[in-house]
A and B are shown apart, each in its own frame.
Chain A
Amino acid sequence: MPLSTQSQSGNDEYILVASLDNARNLSNILKAISFKDHAIFNVTQNGLKVTIEDSKCLQANAFIQADIFQEFTLKEDVVGFQVNLTVLLDCLTIFGGSTVPGVNTALRMCYNGYGYPLTLFLEEGGVVTVCKINTQEPEELIDFDFCSTNVTNKVILQSDSLKEAFSELDMTSEVLQLTMSPSHPYFRLSTFGNSGNAHYDYPKDSDMMELFQCTKTQTNRYKMSLLKPSTKALALSCKVSVRTDGRGFLSLQYLVRNDDGQICFVEYYCCPDEEVESNE
């Protein structure tokens, strides 16, 4: 809907008002899922959930709880809309993306309901920027039907251990293969690229391994192009949980601490490329 047909309205008419003293507490986490333009916002009394999907095979969600915000007022039970995430990030970082200590951009995010733009008021050093971003009707989200009762294998790792592996991943490999098993190799990432095969092993008694619950040997392959963007979320996080279910669907959950040390979550769901049964 063009901006010209979206009318202005007063403060009391906003159905959503969310304020942050430090806009980075929103922009940093959104950057972790910013691999596509269209982001679907789902707002409830619990807070903000922002979703990006790719090819119906990958879904990334960022959760920012209501108590992260200095002000969070929602006049309806659920509010949903879609915005261009790239545009939103450019607006949130309008005063520059650098982290200068003590200098913060304050944010007030307002939404009036269906058909209205998402309005951002940003302030830094006495300079105010007002952004009105066009919203669209939210697309329907995929339900990966991933529930904890179907989880076959689960590990929780400290992110540092995976960061090196992910940054070195052979991008000439079309897939990233994940093997999880109660026995050796326990947890293995593999790539099959032009220069050869590469394996990253994480034994179950490693210091980096905070939790190891594998019930059955599973090897699954996922498209590299789908999983590579998750590196951004990994870089921000301190811990990651890796789970697969009976179908080989992958769930990655990242624990992210913001500038103020508060906890937010990012999760990625991915469909397997093909299933390979292995008895290694």
Chain B
Amino acid sequence: MKFRAKINDVGCLNHFTRVLNTITKLTKTCVLRLTVDNVYFVLSGKVANGGVSMWCELLQVNFFDEYQLEGVSSEANEICLEVAPENLSRALKTAQNAKSVKIKLTKKHCPCLTLAAELVSIYLPPLKTMKSVVDRMKNLSNYLVVEANLNGEMNLKIETDLVSVTTHFRDLGNPPWGDNAVQSQSRDVETMAHARVDIRKLQQFLMGQQVNPNKSMCTRLSQHTETRCSDLQTGVKSTTYISMWAKQRRWLLTSGEHRVTTLHSPSTTPL
């Protein structure tokens, strides 16, 4: 079974989040049924106890820019999961200012739904210093790892057989808007989000910025890479990407993080 979907549009993301917020208010758990055309949130069978019954059907094309599904079998090309909508809702809440959100079905210890959203934004250090360091690092390695947290700390790291070099930037400051404000409540400010970057691309980006620093630009710099797994109970795992862009004339590094909502095993019988 496979499922991958992506929301690129902020309006769609907000709408999807509002739907989930509503569902969260109605029930603690429900069934998420994914088919090729639709996403269903279903709650049934509680009528006998005087509870709520719910059927929510969403046309996936109205929300997702990318949507790939491989169901249980070719005859039953769908996936059913029992979810706690509150987990999904909380994860989406932090992504409200995200440029995009990716959702996919993964399996580590148990089946999980993972979400990617931007969670850490940090102001970059003076580009001149960063450029000097990156120029030298390029002589030593093809890739570097960028780490950043909500405590205004950023590290650039390379490691090869010959040498390891880590540059620590402090007191950079984090922009006050959106994800950061929410995240600082639910996320340890010292936890680093990190991503592996091709140094040449980073170097090109830095060279370009010195020419026209007021241009608003978003450059996606790296692929998703697997990182540490924290808190196995709630299944929170972080995998990141970073974007560098200009907002209000200050350079920002923004990284994304997957959030995992642990779910029960997919049901084999479609509803």
> A141 near B: Cβ within 8 Å?
no
Contact of A127 among B159, B165, B169 (CB under 8 A): B169
Number of A-B contacts (CB under 8 A): 65
Cβ-defined contact, A91 with B163, below 8 A: yes
Q: List A contacts of B170 (CB < 8 A).
A: 126-127
Cα A274 to Cα B146 with chains together (Å): 55
Binding site for B on A (CB under 8 A): 2-3, 84, 86-87, 90-91, 93-96, 117, 124-134
Known A94-B167, A95-B133, A129-B168; contact A87-B161, beta-carbon cutoff 8 A: no
Cβ-defined contact, A93 with B136, below 8 A: yes
Identify whether the interface residues of B are mostly helix, strand, loop, or mixed: mixed
Kindly name the residue among B128, B135, B136 whose own CB sees the greatest number of chain A CB atoms within 10 A: B136
Pull 11 A–B residue pairs with CB atoms less than 8 Å apart, ordered by A.
Answer: A84-B163, A96-B132, A96-B136, A126-B170, A127-B129, A127-B168, A128-B168, A129-B133, A131-B165, A134-B161, A134-B163
**Top 5 closest pairs, chain A to chain B, by CB:** A96-B132, A129-B167, A131-B165, A133-B163, A128-B168
Tell me which residues from 215 to 266 in chain B have a Cβ below 8 Å from any Cβ of chain A.
Answer: none
Cβ-defined contact, B163 with A94, below 8 A: no
For A98, the closest partner residue in chain B by CB is B132
Q: List B contacts of A91 (CB < 8 A).
A: 136, 163, 165
Cα A133 to Cα B163 with chains together (Å): 4
Kindly name the residue among A93, A127, A128, A132 whose own CB sees the greatest number of chain B CB atoms within 10 A: A127
> B166 near A: Cβ within 8 Å?
yes
Q: List B contacts of A94 (CB < 8 A).
A: 132-133, 136-137, 165, 167
A40 → B minimal CB distance (Å): 16
Kindly name the residue among A86, A91, A124, A129 whose own CB sees the greatest number of chain B CB atoms within 10 A: A129
Cβ-defined contact, B162 with A87, below 8 A: yes
B173 → A minimal CB distance (Å): 14
Cβ-defined contact, B140 with A90, below 8 A: yes
A36 → B minimal CB distance (Å): 15
For A88, the closest partner residue in chain B by CB is B163
Cα A124 to Cα B129 with chains together (Å): 9
Q: A96-B132, A127-B168, A130-B168 are in contact. List 18 more A-B contacts (CB 8 A).
A: A3-B161, A86-B139, A87-B140, A87-B163, A90-B136, A90-B140, A91-B163, A94-B132, A94-B137, A94-B167, A96-B128, A117-B163, A126-B170, A127-B169, A128-B168, A130-B166, A131-B163, A134-B162
Cβ-defined contact, B161 with A2, below 8 A: yes
Cα A95 to Cα B130 with chains together (Å): 8
| Chain B positions 27 through 48: 1 when the CB is less than 8 Å from some CB of chain A, otherwise 0 | 0000000000000000000000
For A132, the closest partner residue in chain B by CB is B164
> B171 near A: Cβ within 8 Å?
yes
Cβ-defined contact, B163 with A127, below 8 A: no
Q: List A contacts of B152 (CB < 8 A).
A: none
A128 → B minimal CB distance (Å): 5
Contact of A95 among B132, B163, B164 (CB under 8 A): B132
Q: List B contacts of A96 (CB < 8 A).
A: 128-129, 132, 135-136
Q: List B contacts of A134 (CB < 8 A).
A: 161-163
> B85 near A: Cβ within 8 Å?
no
Kindly name the residue among B125, B140, B165 whose own CB sees the greatest number of chain A CB atoms within 10 A: B165
Q: List B contacts of A130 (CB < 8 A).
A: 165-166, 168
Q: List B contacts of A84 (CB < 8 A).
A: 162-163
Tell me which residues from 130 to 176 in chain B have a Cβ below 8 Å from any Cβ of chain A.
Answer: 132-133, 135-137, 139-140, 159, 161-171
Q: List A contacts of B136 (CB < 8 A).
A: 90-91, 93-94, 96
